[in-house]
Amino acid sequence: MSYLTRRQVLGIALAGLSLKFARAADTDQSRMIVRSPFPTDFEMPLDGFTEAITPIDHFFVRCHTNIPKVNLKTWSLKVDGVVNRPLTLTMDELRKLPRTELVGVLECAGNNRAFYQPHVAGTQWSYGGAGNGRWAGVRLRDVLEETGVKSSAKQVLFNGADTPLGTMEHLRRGITVEKALHPDTLLAYELNGQPLPVMHGFPVRIVVPGWAGDSWIKWLQHIEVLDHEHDGFWMKSAYRYPKSTVNPGATVNPADTVPVTSLGVKSVIAKPAAGPMTANSVTIAGAAWSDGSPVTGVDVSTDGGQHWTSATLGKDLGRYSWRLWEFDWTPGPEGQYMLMSRAHTASGAVQPLEQQWNPGGYLWNVTPRVSVQVGPESYRRTCFVCHDGHMMQTQRLTRAQWEKEVGKMGNWGARVNPEDRESIIDFLSGTFK
């Protein structure tokens, strides 16, 4: 009998893990925040908002139930309802229609839900329930025109291949006929130049640019044109937003709500992180998007909203895309600084300074606030010669230990001016303790 070495055991365990991931995921879980292993909800980390296009292995995932494996050989897309000529399309037939593409933000309606006060039940997304993809496929309009939509049509309902769990109703979401016939609403079969990944709806999903993710049905297999508004659970009870302002924590009568549709204007600060500044200067950076009205500017404040300065915008990838922005900042004297960003659009929409609470925790888009602490000039000019601030940030030392440490650094060659010593130790021992 032979025993496995630790290395062998580890190797087998890792092989098992990667096998499992290969089966379950197109997404590299190691880069994602797992909000729920099942049903699968993976969040993009904050640094994803510095990427112009979100790579597939960085793209958030939101599933209500299982992830179906669709077999293209047996798959087809049925289109019926109040149409003159119901249709069934294979992938080959779909691909023969004119191909079109756009870059667009997919954002979960419940993104940032974790920030609502009072708290709201549901997936506790921080910022990363959003991604910016290059979607390619055909116009939904082209398919609907082939079927001939009757004038009585009101809503277009989408049905995916995932199956309900327990006694829940099958997830079906509808969009207005107007949005369905909009030339930018797509039946997408590609993301970032690749066949749509399984997790993101292979073989076809609906892309409803400017609208929240709940309308972007994945694993599409049936499109039904209705002459009424679908009154299933997922339209009637879920994904609804109050028609008017409600008090935080209030219960809202369903009659006073409407379905979630458009996203609001929003910017996100990807860096720096909140906490002590780790360098003398920093590029404040992030992304900004809206409901499809072009983002025309992002203003940045470093003093809690008293003064605003325009950030530099990155490349314009189209009106549904997010736009990267950045702002170089060298802080003034020691102290606490509140960084904020505020996007505005061509239609005159401005990112709000206060968030409206709502019972579903949807459509969070308030100006982000990141509080950073700037050390005294003495600390910055002495310690940042050799360190970025991360080394100091990971220490938990008493004042006596910090005194010793500063002495040790002096022995290693750091130039610590005698008149700076006290203020450096004050800051270190008051901050990293």
Residue ranges that bind ligand MTE, judged by CB under 6 A: 60-64, 106, 108, 160, 162, 171, 199-200, 213-214, 216-219
Q: What single-letter amino acid sits at 2?
A: S
User: Bridge partners of 282?
Assistant: 329
In the complex, the smallest distance separating the C-beta of residue 109 from ligand MTE, rounded to whole angstroms, is 7
Contacted by 425, from ligand MTE, Mo ion, none: CB < 5 to 8 Å by type: none
Q: Is 259 in the site for Mo ion (CB under 5 A)?
A: no
In the complex, the smallest distance separating the C-beta of residue 64 from Mo ion, rounded to whole angstroms, is 9
> How many whole angstroms separate alpha carbon 334 and alpha carbon 164?
56
Closer to ligand MTE by Cβ: residue 170 or 421: 170
Contacted by 160, from ligand MTE, Mo ion, none: CB < 5 to 8 Å by type: ligand MTE
Closer to ligand MTE by Cβ: residue 63 or 288: 63
Closer to Mo ion by Cβ: residue 260 or 270: 260
Q: Which residue is nearest to Mo ion (CB)?
A: 108
In the complex, the smallest distance separating the C-beta of residue 234 from Mo ion, rounded to whole angstroms, is 11
Contact 402, 383 (CB under 8 A): no
Nearest-10 crossing angle of helices 418-431, 399-412: 130
Contact 297, 323 (CB under 8 A): no
Per-residue binding letters, 210-229, with Mo ion (x by CB under 5 A): ---xx---------------
> How many whole angstroms separate alpha carbon 141 and alpha carbon 155?
13
In the complex, the smallest distance separating the C-beta of residue 39 from ligand MTE, rounded to whole angstroms, is 7
Closer to ligand MTE by Cβ: residue 60 or 402: 60
Phi-psi region of 16 (alpha: psi -120 to 50; beta: other; left: phi over 0): alpha
Q: What single-letter amino acid sits at 68?
A: P
Question: Measuring CA to CA, how many Å separate 280 from each of 99, 329, 377, 396?
Answer: 49, 9, 9, 22
Q: Is 106 in the site for Mo ion (CB under 5 A)?
A: no
Closer to ligand MTE by Cβ: residue 61 or 287: 61
Closer to ligand MTE by Cβ: residue 125 or 427: 125
> How many whole angstroms separate alpha carbon 50 and alpha carbon 34?
20
Contact 22, 106 (CB under 8 A): no
In the complex, the smallest distance separating the C-beta of residue 79 from ligand MTE, rounded to whole angstroms, is 17
In the complex, the smallest distance separating the C-beta of residue 109 from Mo ion, rounded to whole angstroms, is 5
Question: Measuring CA to CA, how many Å separate 234 from each of 36, 74, 157, 265, 279?
Answer: 20, 27, 11, 25, 48
Stretch that binds Mo ion, among 23-31, 105-113, 368-376, 405-413 (CB under 5 A): 105-113
Phi-psi region of 153 (alpha: psi -120 to 50; beta: other; left: phi over 0): beta
In the complex, the smallest distance separating the C-beta of residue 123 from ligand MTE, rounded to whole angstroms, is 9
Contacted by 379, from Mo ion, ligand MTE, none: CB < 5 to 8 Å by type: none
Closer to ligand MTE by Cβ: residue 182 or 218: 218
In the complex, the smallest distance separating the C-beta of residue 263 from Mo ion, rounded to whole angstroms, is 12
Q: Is 62 in the site for Mo ion (CB under 5 A)?
A: yes
Catalogue the E-assigned strands of 90-226. 100-107, 130-139, 155-160, 172-176, 186-191, 194-195, 205-207, 220-226
Contacted by 64, from Mo ion, ligand MTE, none: CB < 5 to 8 Å by type: ligand MTE
Closer to ligand MTE by Cβ: residue 199 or 287: 199
Closer to ligand MTE by Cβ: residue 63 or 186: 63
Q: Please give the distance of CA 5 from its chain centroid, rounded to a whole number.
A: 42
- Which residues lie closer than 8 Å to 39 by C-beta, 6 or more apart? 63, 64, 65, 66, 165
**Nearest Cα to Cα of residue 54 among 33, 27, 30:** 27
In the complex, the smallest distance separating the C-beta of residue 61 from ligand MTE, rounded to whole angstroms, is 4
What are the residues binding Mo ion (CB under 5 A)?
Answer: 62, 108, 213-214
